[in-house]
Structure 1
Amino acid sequence: MARRTGSRRRIGVLIAVLAAVLIAALGAPARFPDLFGLALPFEAILPWLGAPIALLLIAALARRAWLGILVSLAAVVVWSFVFVPRIMPLNPPSASEVDATVTVLSQNLQGAAGDPATTTQAVLDRAPDLLALQEIDGESRDALDAALLEAYPYAERASTVGLWSTYPILESEPLDLGLGWKRALRAVVATPGGDTTVYVVHAASARLQGHEQRDQMLTQLTEQIQADGSPRIIALGDFNAGTDDRSFVPLTDLLVEPRQTAGGFGFSWPAAFPFVRLDHVLERGFDARSMETIPLGGSDHLAVTAELVPTQ
């Protein structure tokens, strides 16, 4: 009996220690050092830590390890505090409050490996007011322009990213953001309710071997938006960063990412089994009526689409 009690106590301590580590990871992920680039996948999978927390709680209950049960329950509370507010369904403004809306859609086409023609037709079927595309390869560029011209008479491009609009684009400029070549842009669009500044972004790739260029682009984008006095801003595209990525979080201190219409995390990559949200729609000066992550065409990214109502 004493041996069984001692074994239960040791298991309880082990479970409690593991649960405490998960609590620390959830409570202050940015404090974990970026050793060997591991902060990148670590921050990408933060929402998925609910699974090991549940397993620890089940194990503690099965062994009646009370210390493990208590600390695992604390981990459940912390996970819920961090993530439940994000995954609640969107509470849109009522129709009576809506005077004008702006619908937006962003899609990474995956270059020549994707299916730009199918994506273009799907876009035309959905008919967003603003369309942002990334990874536009040279072979599909002219075909995209021809297919979209009638529905989108206003368009701007910076290298492999582009913005198509049903509303006049009053001004635009390509953005380097420290990458060394321009694959982001800033445009001012005459949207209902007042002019809107739109940023279309395709951040540099982020890998374990290195993500300095992506970090630099996100830092410079944050600085530019911080200095941007526009009352209405929409930033959308492939940021190559999950919602909890330490290089992306400063952007969400300036702009809001609406919750999903149906709830959930809205993971967008890879399309076959999404486990991280790399594609985002961020805004300032709007309320969201809808926000969805949807399959569109043959890309390895899902598309993100939103319907926004200007508030100022």
Structure 2
Amino acid sequence: MAQQAYVTETDNGGSGPERRESGLRRLTDRLKGLVAGWRGDPRVWRRGIVPAALAVILALVMLLHAQIPNVVGNLGSLTETFLPWLGLFVPVLLVLALVRKSATALIAVLLPAIVWLNLFGGLLVDRTGSGGDLTVATHNVNAENTDPSGTARDVAASGADVVALEELTAGAVPTYEKALASTYRYHTVQGTVGLWSKYPLSGVKPVGIKLGWTRAMRAAVTTPAGQVAVYVAHLPSVRVKVEAGFTARQRDKSANALGEAIAHEQLQKVVLLGDLNGTMNDRALNAVTAQMRSTQGAAGSGFGFSWPASFPMARIDQIMVKGLEPESSWTLPETGSDHLPVAARVKVDTSS
């Protein structure tokens, strides 16, 4: 009896692009099938009014965030601090629309999606460049840091030419000075903020930001490409309290004072390094943000969240410039602090 030979062909799923295309095709087919099943349903437009209304409200909150008053608990600033995270509600509302089989809700969800992409879609694109002639970094080292030496070495390893440190304690300053001495020839500490530089410093002075002690300073750094005024600042902390909401009155006053000092700066090229305890969306920082550019927004990749270090949710540590061109911006690995260090490379000589 003759034996028949059977050959089984193994399907390996194709190449990566082919598998992705196949997966996208299947998803599209399922959505088409879902929508086709709704066509004969007379209630498809009447269902899902609640998720549709929530989608419209979400879109309005993101679109008109600047109009939310700060009178009660600084609600406007609180919303602006975590504004990017409101985008997480979009997929939730999308699922609700699909579960409810509501065409009305499905269309309404497009509104917050479009608004969010308009506000933050640019941050999803890698805008980093390879140019620049000055690298700067800033880090709130945390007064309770148990490894200041390690933190200093980590920041120095970034290759930054200029480093700003905030929340320095008197007891920890000698440790930072010793750990950074071999990399940075010049440095100054004013109150609880300090500046370390590979290039000469001049015109060093504290900057008053309406506090009883020094938490901001200014220095001129003479780089090979020209002089740059460098400001280091640590604005007061904000608190979220049940009975008072988002308390930030002192931070707001300090931000206004810092903005005024920068506005009167004589040098044309200015860098601001520090923990501003606020995001670029927070209207309370307008005195600063209205006259300076964020390196993360101009030349970063992603949102660059810096706090808290264990699970970053907001970019409150800022590097901002005026009269210089941002080329790249990034966050550094976690140290012994509750903040992540942030760094940027900028172009001082903008003549070419």
TM-score, length-scaled by structure 2: 0.80
Task: Report the CA distance shift for 1:262/1:204 in structure 2 as closer, same or farther (over 3 A).
Answer: closer
Cα drift, residue 211 of structure 1: 1.2
Alignment of 1:100-119 (within 5 A): 101-119=133-151
Aligned partner of 1:144 in structure 2 is 176
Q: Distance in 2 between matches of 1:70 and 1:295?
A: 41
Aligned partner of 1:176 in structure 2 is 208
Aligned partner of 1:287 in structure 2 is 325
Aligned partner of 2:87 in structure 1 is 50
- 1:273 and 2:311 equivalent? yes
Cα drift, residue 171 of structure 1: 0.8
Q: What is the one-letter code of the residue matched to 1:213?
A: Q
Give CA deviations for 1:137-174 in whole Å, capped at 9, x if unaligned.
Answer: 12211121122223222112221100111111121110
Cα drift, residue 91 of structure 1: 4.2
Aligned partner of 1:130 in structure 2 is 162
Task: Report the CA distance shift for 1:114/1:38 in structure 2 as closer, same or farther (over 3 A).
Answer: farther
Farther off after superposition, 217-226 or 259-268: 259-268
SS in 2 for 1:139: coil
Q: What is the one-letter code of the residue matched to 1:66?
A: A
Cα drift, residue 178 of structure 1: 1.1
Q: Distance in 2 between matches of 1:151 and 1:41?
A: 39
Query: Do the aligned partners of 1:87 and 1:259 also contact (CA within 8 Å) in 2?
Result: no
Greater Rg by CA: 2
SS in 1 for 2:226: coil
Farther off after superposition, 158-167 or 246-255: 246-255
Q: How many residues are paired up?
A: 303
Query: Do the aligned partners of 1:22 and 1:75 also contact (CA within 8 Å) in 2?
Result: yes
Give CA deviations for 1:15-58 in whole Å, capped at 9, x if unaligned.
Answer: 22211211121112121122223334322221011110221122
Alignment of 1:54-133 (within 5 A): 54-92=91-129, 101-133=133-165
Cα drift, residue 7 of structure 1: 9.3
Query: Do the aligned partners of 2:77 and 2:284 also contact (CA within 8 Å) in 1?
Result: no
Farther off after superposition, 256-265 or 187-196: 256-265
Q: Distance in 2 between matches of 1:23 and 1:249?
A: 23
Cα drift, residue 262 of structure 1: 6.4
- 1:29 and 2:65 equivalent? yes
- 1:248 and 2:285 equivalent? yes
Q: Distance in 1 between matches of 2:286 and 2:301?
A: 21
Unaligned stretches of 5+ residues in structure 2:
1-40
Q: Distance in 2 between matches of 1:44 and 1:232?
A: 28
Q: Distance in 2 between matches of 1:10 and 1:227?
A: 59
Aligned partner of 1:300 in structure 2 is 338
Cα drift, residue 250 of structure 1: 4.2
Task: Give % identity.
Answer: 34
Give CA deviations for 1:195-220 in whole Å, capped at 9, x if unaligned.
Answer: 10111010001112421110011111
Aligned partner of 2:225 in structure 1 is 193
Aligned partner of 1:9 in structure 2 is 46
Query: Do the aligned partners of 1:266 and 1:277 also contact (CA within 8 Å) in 2?
Result: yes
Q: Distance in 1 between matches of 2:120 and 2:94?
A: 18
Query: Do the aligned partners of 2:44 and 2:104 also contact (CA within 8 Å) in 1?
Result: no
What's the RMSD between the two structures over aligned residues? 2.1
Q: Distance in 1 between matches of 2:321 and 2:179?
A: 28
Farther off after superposition, 82-91 or 161-170: 82-91
Task: Report the CA distance shift for 1:86/1:174 in structure 2 as closer, same or farther (over 3 A).
Answer: same
Unaligned stretches of 5+ residues in structure 1:
none
Q: What is the one-letter code of the residue matched to 1:172?
A: V
Task: Report the CA distance shift for 1:201/1:87 in structure 2 as closer, same or farther (over 3 A).
Answer: farther
TM-score, length-scaled by structure 1: 0.90
Task: Report the CA distance shift for 1:18/1:173 in structure 2 as closer, same or farther (over 3 A).
Answer: same
Q: What is the one-letter code of the residue matched to 1:222?
A: G
Relative contact order higher in (CA < 8 Å, ≥ 6 apart)? 1
Cα drift, residue 296 of structure 1: 4.1
SS in 2 for 1:111: coil
Q: Distance in 1 between matches of 2:105 and 2:277?
A: 37
